[in-house]
Structure 1
């Protein structure tokens, strides 16, 4: 089994060489990851060389457009989906807002939408607001541990159900939902699915075809890229959505779901994420492929190998924190206490301490973490936690080191004691 070369990985992120960040450990990756070098390089080159309107009939403008076009195909390959199913927008919150308007040309009063109370507000609030237009909103509620149970969903599905919006992974609990199984169940009832992948995609871009969803959403700035939201919309679903762009762009696929038009430079730089993943594959697997004289792997095989590499690198960090939280009498882990089916995002409450105050104190010791409700207000309310106070959250990705975790645990010991 190939292990992650952390030295190689950190060389791809300028933040780890930044003098002002030396001595810090970054544990707020669920809020936004560091940018990888390929993205920064492409953004710099675009701004210096191609910062003009793309797609006009001159060499510079044509090159700018070609760079943008390449990002759709490049990201599509790492998600096992055609480039023409990929859409860019300013953020996931903005993208879901646009989608909620786009579905109004498909849905009718009395149609039902199922949402969850486990989700980020971006993929629940916009759908709930459609109740004012006569749509019926049903809530798929978590159990006492914060888990979404399939039996509870099945009880909600019916003849009038049209849309199901749910998260791939909770941004507070780190709980990974069985997306393929959920989508297969919804499909039996003819229900379309919108999956919020914001808290999952940074741990390896998903295989969209394997998931079977109609729409998949995530934020590229949490996947080592520029501040863009990405939507994957299957053609059959796209055909149901009303044009949200200018009327004269109604037949321009990339502009139908982006009212403001694309951010040229950031869309062009997005292919740098693909370059980074390709670099990971080449560094970790290409030599073994050559040694075994294997055929050139497909894009899907490359993506699966990189996804597995990232997941495996994160498991040991999850285990270390779970072990510490379990044994500490002052700490309560929020959500399921297990290693399986979870991302390296762990949230806690500490007796006698407010989350925001602890985050501030940890920050003074170089631990960069977050505290609050993280836009999952409904989740915290359902678990009996005051959303105003929220939780203390530690979120890691594959570039987190064992030394980072040690630094975190030592800082916690100093603030709340070791027992």
Structure 2
């Protein structure tokens, strides 16, 4: 069947110019290499439409059309209902700060937000900062043995004053996939919103915000084969209701613009469409660039299904090797099961400092990393 056809690895590798250098890039929790269609689109934008949006002359109309098409393309990528639900910015960290600043203007003393000890700090610190508006912050703690979040532990933290729960879809340390739909149903049952960090999930699986039932979902494209650019999905009715961060003359109904102060990086927005060019090709649809942003969702899903199957096999080989070694501890699930984890693997070795292991691997031109990866609370809990 088309969906189970294996990846054409030669074709995939040919789309990443950096792979010609011989370095083995295994620092996939920290960032990905960029695909060639992204580079092509960025250059094309800067050469042919590097002007301000909104004017009537041809180059400006082209620039406006391209940025609008990028929003449409990303809406397809995450299965949003409309491009107006797509807010772009320089990073997931900045976009969560933007969202928290907006929500903070609606916080009343005694309102509650829930954060986890398993997240990247980008999805913790902005919500803790809401304490200055009178919010009370509750902590959903990971199991110190496994690092996992148990949805049953969330129940006692929810109540009639809960405004928002912030959590990660996939841990950037463990690689584990959290049951977002289950959590969303629990959160919505008490009238709260769910904000999900998808940075660790989006490079490995197709994001479907409607199936997940999330209210907000963000990830960065530099970890998803693209440039240093990011997206925040928000349900349209919530984005319209929240106060914007634009100038006084920016209409509150102007979504997503009111959440993009100073506007977005135009060339990187257009460049992001190159990620979808690549995904559509990997999904077996040979139709070239889609300048209107109207990509085929089914082809994108096929691409990610092929990625997941290939990564599961590779992760299985690595996990089998590590678990067979005396003194090696895999942090997180030792199973490569693609329904439970992505191919992000962390481990420790008894009697060896992690830094020593990384430096030994460096000598072979293989890129890995040690540290807490900005999930410091998770590493401390473990």
TM-score scaled by structure 1? 0.84
1:283, CA displacement in angstroms? 5.2
CA separation in 2, counterparts of 1:277 and 1:336?
28
Tell me the secondary structure at the aligned position of residue 358 of structure 1. helix
2:327 is matched with 330
Q: 1:352-367 alignment to 2 at 5 Å?
A: 352-367=351-366
User: Is residue 2:128 matched to residue 1:140?
Assistant: no
Tell me the secondary structure at the aligned position of residue 41 of structure 2. helix
Q: 2:301 aligns with which of 300, 304, 319?
A: 304
CA separation in 2, counterparts of 1:367 and 1:216?
32
CA separation in 1, counterparts of 2:248 and 2:324?
60
Q: 1:315 aligns with which of 312, 316, 323?
A: 312
Which runs of 5 or more residues in structure 2 are unaligned?
A: 288-294
After superposition, give the CA deviation of every residue in 1:182-224 in whole Å (9 maximum; x if it has no partner): 1111111111000000000011330111001000010011111
Tell me the secondary structure at the aligned position of residue 231 of structure 2. strand
CA separation in 2, counterparts of 1:236 and 1:141?
31
Are the counterparts in 1 of residues 216 and 233 from structure 2 also a CA contact under 8 Å?
A: yes
1:255, CA displacement in angstroms? 2.2
**Quick check: 314-323 or 168-177, which moved more?**
314-323
2:247 is matched with 246
CA separation in 2, counterparts of 1:95 and 1:229?
8
Q: RMSD of the alignment, in Å?
A: 1.6
Are the counterparts in 2 of residues 116 and 142 from structure 1 also a CA contact under 8 Å?
A: yes
Tell me the secondary structure at the aligned position of residue 348 of structure 2. strand
2:275 is matched with 273
Are the counterparts in 1 of residues 194 and 214 from structure 2 also a CA contact under 8 Å?
A: yes
Tell me the secondary structure at the aligned position of residue 263 of structure 2. coil
Are the counterparts in 2 of residues 79 and 303 from structure 1 also a CA contact under 8 Å?
A: no
1:320, CA displacement in angstroms? 0.9
1:124 is matched with 124
Are the counterparts in 2 of residues 162 and 190 from structure 1 also a CA contact under 8 Å?
A: yes
User: Is residue 2:103 matched to residue 1:106?
Assistant: no
CA separation in 2, counterparts of 1:187 and 1:136?
19
2:373 is matched with 374
CA separation in 2, counterparts of 1:155 and 1:336?
26
Are the counterparts in 2 of residues 104 and 242 from structure 1 also a CA contact under 8 Å?
A: no
Tell me the secondary structure at the aligned position of residue 201 of structure 1. coil
2:62 is matched with 63
Residues 158 and 5 from structure 1, CA distance in 2 versus in 1: closer, same or farther, beyond 3 angstroms? same
Tell me the secondary structure at the aligned position of residue 30 of structure 2. coil
Q: 1:21-32 alignment to 2 at 5 Å?
A: 21-22=21-22, 24-32=23-31
CA separation in 2, counterparts of 1:30 and 1:256?
31
